[in-house]
Structure formats: C-alpha cells, structure tokens
Structure 1
Amino acid sequence: MGFGSADNQIHVANRCGENIYVIPMPNKDWVWGDIGFTVLTTILTFGEAAPAAATAINSLSRLQKAITLVKSILGNPYVKAIKYAALEYKIARNGLREVETEILRKAEAARKEIITFLKSEGALIKPNEFKQVSNEKNYNPLRMISPSGWGGLFGASDAALFIATESLSRFALFNTNSDYSWIVEPNMVVRSKYGHIWESAKSEGYYRFSASDRLVEGQDLKPNESISSPNKSYDFVYQEDGNAVIYERRKPDGEKAIWASDTYGKAAWRTCMQDDGNFVVYEAEGKPVWATDKCGYDPMYEGCSLVMQDDGNLVIYNKDNKVIWASGTYR
C-alpha cells in the first residue's frame, strides 16, 4: 500500500561497520499529486483544507531539506576535502600551509552543520542494529487511497530514502516502496527478504553505497568499491573479479554494463587516480594491467580527478577543468 497506509513500515538494518543516519521521505515524483489529492479530499469530506495542506506542505518541506542536504554533500568543496581525503593528501605531499588550515576549518564546520541536520531529521542506526524508519499511518489516513497509495499497491516506488554514514564517507538516495526494508552493507544497500530483516534479497533490489562521484589524485578504489553519478544512473565499479566496469542502472534490481577495462580474471588489488594524471588498474603485487596512459609531469596533468558523470561518461579532468581522458560512453 502507499506511503501513508496504516500498515506500511520501512526497516533498515546496518551492516556497514559504522553509524548511519536514515531519512525517509515521500517520492518527489508523487508529492504534488498527493498534495492536490489530499487537499481536495479534505475539502470534500470536512469542508476545509488547512490541516491537510499543512501536513502535505510539511512533507514537501522535509523532502526539500533532504534534497538540499544531498546537494551539499555532492557539491560543497569543504565537505569534499574531508570525503575525498584530498586535503590530507596535499598536506602529506606539500606540507601544511595556511590555506589548507582554513579549508580544514571550513570543512569541519560544514560537516558539523550536516551532521546536526542528520541528527534532527534522521534515524540513527548503530552497527549490527536495525530500526523502523518509516510508519506513516499517523500522517494522513486518506493517503492510502491517494495516487501514491494506489501506486504502492502495485509495487510502485512511492517513498524515498536518504542514507549516509556518520563520517559522510558514503551515502545513497533512492526510491522505494513503502513496504520494503533494506540492509546497508559496506558498499551496497540491498533489499531484505520479506519478513527477514537480516536476510538479503539482492535480486529484489540493490543500490551502490558510493563514496562520491569522483576520485581525486592520490585516491583509489579497492575491490567492490565504486563511484556513482550524482543522479545515481551510472556506477563505476572495481569488481572483485579484477574488472573495472561502468554500469547503467535500469531498475532497482538490474544494471547494464556499457564499458569495461577488460581486466577480468586479474587478481584484484586496487585502482588509483595518480598524481601524474594516469588512472591505473593494478593487480596483486602492484603490477599495472590497464591504464588510461594520458599522463605526465607537467602542469597539464596536475590536480586530475576521475569523474562519473550524469551522462554516463567517465572523464578525467585536470585542475583547469580540461578533459584529459574519457570513456566515450556519453548517453
């Protein structure tokens, strides 16, 4: 049934190894239809719209706050300084400078602001615990016959979840049916088997639990880690079989490979965005098995980042935002 039905609940189990915060929301694609339906139905039934409108606007306000939070995590350069470990890398390589001290101060201030929001709006779930994060029966009982309610009856994604680790190192934002539950693993959020919160049912749905949309110089991906486009439509994954693959998401339970390094069968170790502008896939014992080979030690290759874009293209940009290499998977 829909997001506001009497019996629907979303539970989230934490198996990722650190505290997480979960914010449940209505699916933004249903919000305005539900607001209109709620207000109209309340007028016809009770002769006034104020209480229903207030409830609906409150839901919309929470949704907008969460979307703003996601944009902050994606786009705030001071938060990125912590997330990507770029600041620590620069300090280790160049020595501490005043500008880096100021960036660190602003980064910590931004982090505290976001954590404060998560604590006030989200449910805290500790490692190896689970919690009910959504039960909307008290919001508005008329929602069970609203557009999202009918959609939920037939399996539509009438709700949304934002999940972030306390360190802000990983996050996920995705739509879900309001009667589904999820397990947060170190690199993935997976559907729970119905009635069994700790038993995963990956065939029913999963999402990458990615650190960001990019790797900055000096940063790497370990096996089964990924970066994801901001719109969550594309994932670049370093797999345990040694292959590095770009996936286009088709459904919550499926994805299609659109590019690969063709290093399947190589002993997986790590990939690295190097400070010479080269992105390299290494197998065990540090042997390179694939590389972009667009590199050098001159200003053109300084400050490079590997970015998974919303258009499906995996691109290396230098510090001046010039393209050094691209996968050519523009969709």
Structure 2
Amino acid sequence: MEKTTTAIGGARTKRSLRALAATALAAAALALNIVSATPSSAAPGCQGVPAGWDHLTQGMCLRGGESMSSPIQYGSSGLVTTEEANVLSYQRDGNLVVSHWKTWIAPDVGGAPDFGSLIELIQRCVAFHDCQSGDTVVDVLWNSGTQGRSTGEAVMQDDGNFVVYDGNGNAAWSSGTYGCGGSYLWGRMQTDGNFVLYKGHAPGDNAWKAVWSTRNGRTGEPC
C-alpha cells in the first residue's frame, strides 16, 4: 500500500498505518511557486532514485507515488519501541512533500521488544508499504504547493535546478538553483527533516556547501 501525505499547514495527524495508507489527509497548501524552466530538461529518461538511497544526484527524479527516506532511526518511549524517518515524496496529486513519520510499536507481552522482528517489520513497511501494526504520527514539514497539477516528475536537473514538472511538461515549482550544475549538485533528505541541495566542494575543501533547503530556501552560497 502506498503512503500518501497531503500537506496540512502546521498540522499533526495520528492514525494507524493501515488507515494512513488508505486515507488521504485534508489539504491546505503553501503558496504556489510558479517558475520558468525548460520543459525539455525533464527528460523522460531521467533515472529513478535507487532503493534505500537518502539522496538524489543530477539526472535523477521522483515520479508520481515515489519517495525517498532518511535513514530509519530507532529508539524507545518507556517500554514501547519507536522508529522514525523523514520522507521526501512526490505524490500522485502533484505535490512534493517533506514529512516526518514516527511509529510506536508495543513490545511482545511479557518480554522486551524483539528488535529482529521490529527491524523486519519496518523494512517490509518501507519497501512494500505492508504496514500492519502500531500507530504513526505524521508531521508535514514542507510542501511545494503544487497539488492539483497533473503528475509528472520531480527532477534534479543537470543545470542544478530541482524542478517539479506537471504531466504536460510545464514547470510547476523550482528550487531556483539554475546555474549550480557545474559544481555537481545533489540533494539529501536529512535525519533532521531538512531536504538540502548541496554543491560540490573545491579541491582541498572537504565541506559541502548548501545552496538551497526546504527549511531556509535559497542560501547566500554562490553557484
């Protein structure tokens, strides 16, 4: 089953995983950011993000219903095991969404949590959307405000621009990082809930420089 998170400004939801997979949440979008971009840049041959990756590089894209996640983090709340992750999803409603998912899974009766079974359950949930146990709290952290547009692709272009295209090849939203491509740009879904575009570093400089993020928008870092 596919996870669908429709953006709710500042809202938090708590439902069973099965209910979350079956029911879309009510929508209240951020302001639509219409941009100018070259439709031909959204090449039909763009590469999908490999399973298990938390980042995408130039030439990669998310298509409708696809997502990528930060590494899953495990913890506990009392005797209850928790797992959480941050997800960048390009939804079938045309919206690009960053959300934080946290699941509580009760331990087996009479004993401590079986972490082997827990990890297997989480992996099955992430890989196959076969989620059958526990409650999940979903916080929408950011969205592109492009819901209602026909679904196309969210593309990390060679020119450094991260662009959401609708099904007609028209640009619906952009990160505004055109021209950063020569520095080898890539985007990462981080464990702190921030999706960040980084440019390559100069020889002798080991620091990756952020040029845009969902939390702060375009930075002052030149391309």
Q: How does 1:71-220 map to 2 (within 5 A)?
A: 202-203=18-19, 211-220=52-61
- Name the aligned partner's letter for residue 159 of structure 2: D
CA distance in 1, matches of 2:21, 2:91: 19
Deviation, 1:316, is 0.3
Point out the structure with max Rg over C-alpha.
Answer: 1
CA contact (8 A) 1:210 1:228 kept: no
SS at match of 1:236: strand
Gaps of 5+ in 1: 1-184, 189-200
Q: Is residue 323 from structure 1 mapped to residue 210 from structure 2 by the alignment?
A: yes
CA contact (8 A) 1:205 1:254 kept: no
CA distance in 1, matches of 2:101, 2:168: 33
SS at match of 2:19: helix
TM-score by length of 2: 0.52
Deviation, 1:261, is 0.1
Deviation, 1:294, is 1.4
Aligned identity (percent) is 32
TM-score by length of 1: 0.36
Q: Is residue 241 from structure 1 mapped to residue 93 from structure 2 by the alignment?
A: yes
Q: How does 1:16-31 map to 2 (within 5 A)?
A: none
Deviation, 1:304, is 0.9
Q: Structure 1 or 2: larger helix share?
A: 1
| Counterpart in the other structure of 2:67 | 226
Q: How does 1:290-305 map to 2 (within 5 A)?
A: 290-296=173-179, 299=182, 302-305=183-186
- Name the aligned partner's letter for residue 215 of structure 1: L
Moved over 4 A (4+): none
CA distance in 2, matches of 1:204, 1:238: 16
CA contact (8 A) 2:160 2:181 kept: no
CA distance in 2, matches of 1:283, 1:205: 24
RMSD: 2.7
Q: How does 1:273-284 map to 2 (within 5 A)?
A: 273-284=156-167
Higher relative contact order (Cα pairs below 8 Å, separated by 6+ residues): 2
**How many residue pairs were aligned?**
129
SS at match of 1:268: coil
Deviation, 1:253, is 3.1
CA distance in 2, matches of 1:205, 1:314: 23
Deviation, 1:205, is 7.9
C-alpha offsets along residues 141-181 of structure 1, whole Å, 9 cap, x if unaligned? xxxxxxxxxxxxxxxxxxxxxxxxxxxxxxxxxxxxxxxxx
CA distance in 2, matches of 1:326, 1:273: 14
CA contact (8 A) 2:161 2:181 kept: no
Gaps of 5+ in 2: 4-16, 23-49, 73-83, 104-134, 202-207, 217-223
CA distance in 2, matches of 1:276, 1:245: 23
Deviation, 1:210, is 5.2
| Counterpart in the other structure of 1:147 | none
- Name the aligned partner's letter for residue 213 of structure 2: A
